[in-house]
Structure 1
Amino acid sequence: DDYIVFYSKIALNNSNEGVWLRDPNEDEIDYIAYSTTQEGYSYSFDGNSFLWTRYKTPGAENKFDEKKEYTNKIYLNEILPNPSGEEGEGEYIEIYNPTGENIGLANWTLRDASSTGKYVLPENTIVESKKYLVIYRKNFKFALNNSGEEKVYLIDPNGKTVSLATYSGSDEDASYNFNGKKWRWSRFLTPGEKNKFNNLPQVKIKIDKNVYKNVYADFEVKASDLDKDELKFVWDFGDNHRSYKQGTRHKYLKTGNYKASIKVSDGSEEVIGKFKVEVKKFPHQDIKIVGLSPNPSGKDSDFEWIDIKNESDGKVNLKSWSVATGWKILYNHPIYEKLIIEAGEIERLTRDMCRFTLNNKRAKIELRYPDGEVAYDLEYDKKDESVKDDEIYEEIDGKWKWTTAQNNAEPTLANAENTGDTKDTEEEIIKILDEFLGKQSLDPDKKDFKILLISFMGNIGLLDSIINNQEIVSGALAVKHDGLTYVFTRNNYLEEHYVIKFLKSLGFKINSLVNKIILIFI
């Protein structure tokens, strides 16, 4: 056989290189490639495959060492890439021998992902049975990466990779350990000893059942750690947005399916929970405003209200909806409390649920869905006058009108259904105890109210002075309503003021006394 040797000025790379043989027509005849090299070795064909050999034979038959079988039972066991202090001294790589015999490691190789990071173990290197061999950076020289992807190889003298560890980034003083099945990070450094692991955080994910476009959704993770380690959280919502809070809110701007995750770290290891989020368009139920009170008696900011009717087929919770008010500029006020309205029903929105404000002259009002779209809008303008005390703006027979308040503590009656049956609607609206009948309601601005003590024959009684400028409770009256208005009924009573009763009783006692005196003298 003849061999042709080419000495060229072409530089061959020490890693990830390919060599082609082409004919004069540039057609490919042969091709070989290699990913890594061994210094001083040639890459030679043995009739079946290319192998690295320490024999260099230009112009002659390739020569190889007689192949020796090496164990594949030993493995990389612990790696410390980022020790505190001087990394050149503290980094280490540990090899474990689980077999029942000592194994010589002469000419075995440790290398990393770089093209130059290689360390050939010297002669007489032995890892004893069931023991650990720790090699420090002062011996293997190459640096282990603290960030980005890194790979560490254990290669036998035949060039076969026996063990491989791959990691991405490392925390300070956290070692990368093999537990017999997989690699895990640990804050326990155990060079030359059995690996020790901490307890992984226990994680439970809770998110909203329904997630809508342009609506904030709640994300929460419940996590515990038996080691009492401080936990850190990283949410990945799958739309290039993240959060670092244990409980957070997120708004998706587009509908679709997203692959999301939560990463919980205890300082040495991470637990990653993956989940899918389906983002839908918010359903726009038929909800409308049917009444409002801009100027209630007392402090407006405490007693203003808006009546809202659910005209959809199912119940609606208005939490996360909002009310926008103003005139030229509308200011949005979220509803931050639950307000559930059954189908066809009316509920009252008050300022303890939503901090809206209603102007006493004119206002534009929008009831908004959680996604910001307008569910219902209206406006009023009193021009040169103001809304009167307790005046209500309500929709009656499809038209908005100002009315005098009938009952400013209940949802607008004009929007309730009129069944025409008043028999079952009769109710006692005001219940006044008998002892209060005939008593006066004291107006604090009127100072001439007074109480008189009357003594007669050893009995002392109270007599309220009846003064013209005080209102008097003269009786209670039951009413009924026909669905739209209240109607007075006759099944009530009037009772004499207790002062009149007292005077009549006093007159009776005086008359009896006089009669007794007359009988004595007769």
Structure 2
Amino acid sequence: MKRRAKILFFLFLILLFLGGFFGFRKNVLASDACNNHIIISEIYGGGGNSGATYKNDFIELYNPTTSDIVIDGWSVQYNTSASSGNFLITKLDTKLENNIIKAGEYYLIQEASGSSGVDLPTTDAKGNIAMSATAGKVALVDNAEKISTMNDENVVDFVGYGGAANEFEGLKSAPSPNNTQSIARKSSVCLDSNNNGTDFTAQDPTPGGENEKIIPVCVDKIILSEIYPFTGEFVEVENIGAETCNLAGWKISDEKNSPHAFPVNSPIEPGGYVALIKDFNLNSTSADSAQLFNPTNSEPVEIRSYKTPENNKSYSNEKSDVWKWTSKSTSGLENVFDEETPPTIPPKDNDYAGKIKINEVFPAPKDKNAGKEFVEIINISNENINLSGMRIEDEKNHKVYFTEKILAPGEITYLEGNFELNNTTPDTAFLIDKDGIKENSIDSVTYEKSQYDYAYAFDGTTWRWNNLLTPGEKNEFEKKLKVSIVKIKANPKGKDADLEEVYLQNKSQKKINLKTWSLATGSKTLYNHPITKNFILKPGKTKKITRKYSLFTLNNKKGAIELRYPNGAVASRVKYDKKKESVKDDEVYELSGKDWQWNAPVEEIPQEETARMENISPSEENPENINPEIAPEISEEEITLNLGKYSAENKLALAEMGFLPASEDFLQSREAPGVVLGAFSARAEVRKSIEIKSTTVWQRAMQKSNRFFNFLINRLVNLI
């Protein structure tokens, strides 16, 4: 009895470990649940009751992420507080274009009605579930199958409200509302911490709008702006983005000490400034640095270093990423600088002005390795020019020099190196003669904020950004790149959002990377979906693009698709309309000659099957032609088995390698060690012996361990 109890206890520990490792529900840690999925933002069950505010019950959803989310086939489901049966269901037949809830937008679902209260504002979906005003359970599910528990793997979000609720997220249910109150999600650093008791509060209902002001956490666009390392030290940040966001979770440290975090509610407006006043231990007598961390990275997203500070001055950003010491500290406000006497700029006067021109500047390679930037120049004169000693210099005095080079008339060359040209702020590239200064440069080009892998190039009339890089060659531009849509699959078999395809053909003579281009899709209104990853099209080749590269969606009846250049111009456009019917599973719409036509799906032979069919020998096609007197040659490497007792694994290995046992038992030969008798080739039907390699001690130990584990599992099944 004691032995059995020990075995059961041991098996319990194994199951507990496996359960903890693999999990029993499609759930996430609270820290990972923040802002990464559609959430239930408000529930109102008092609709139409005596004294009710609104005539209908409602459920409100919210998309707190930075991306649009497709809700095709989703549902909201409700159950009474103590029930353990199936939930009631409302399918989300959305009115939204392409069945999408856009980033930062709400989605209102109307449920059952009564006689009291006013009408709801415009709703996005309707159901007829009669919900309790004081206690119940609501689930958001990513399909339309009824659930019976919050632990269903398809549950996206779940709320149990009222003290009688028998299921809820976290340690406690959401509070109990009444006929004039809803339960609404609070505004905080984490919109969904998987704890209904702390995530929700009872309040006046606000269908289709914000509850408390929900401010999303800042994802990026936050930069260091000012550092004050003396008594009362502070570090200030600036929001260079276009939206108000919350600095909760962002941190600042000096070079050596632990970081300090911004308070939970720290909103910062576009173009606004917020100072964190803490004892950072910033060095006030020698060099140090301030480091900025976002909520998701352990490595700093920005480091700003300074040399020996000037007494009681702030080290501040002068808007062009040029930092200066200023006596005018401005904690939480726009930076102000001491007035400077403007330098006297001598007139331009050198021998090469008007003869050599900067022709192309490449300041922001995606590969951050040094030496990838380049500046291209062209000789527009009719004389040879010696470039020896000339240099390219930026506004911060970073210099790269030309070596010995004679530039012929009309010739183009370029200088590649680590110029440290600015990526996110304006900068100027100067071409300067030997022993010259910037104020007397041969030529200069100023650009605004750049894009990764784009060059600032001269087209003969004006300067513009171009993703076709031509160092040392004549500039070419995007308008010459011809890429066309040639086929679409709008309704693939399976889940549309993951499997829809658009086929693109490169009709130009150059290899093209479509990253930063976009696909716009829709019916009445087209929504732009940037191509966010490298997508290489070789000349004359056709290649399919999926949601791995661009988060587009295609309608199943009619719609339009545009392939757009990075500047928004349309490169190719296709419209389709199936009228009253829907596109069939795997049906494709493709260009044939000059006309578009619908084609039924073609069954494809798997590649491995095709290869097998192509390589099959005549003897394999006609096994009766095999000479039974000739045994096939079997190399020593063709099969490796274990000595000793021949288990099911040995038998399986023999079968997989083309051999089968003559009987249930394998007999070991007495004539030579490691030889098995009674096996024959399935390919030639001729018996022959097989050389078996000895197992190691470790392999035998692992076999015993596997058999023991299988024994324990079988015992557990028998006990159950």
Fold shared, TM-score > 0.5 on shorter chain: no
The alignment's TM-score, normalised by the length of structure 2, stands at 0.23
- Name which one, 1 or 2, has greater alpha-carbon Rg: 1
The alignment's TM-score, normalised by the length of structure 1, stands at 0.31
Q: Greater helix percent: which structure?
A: 2
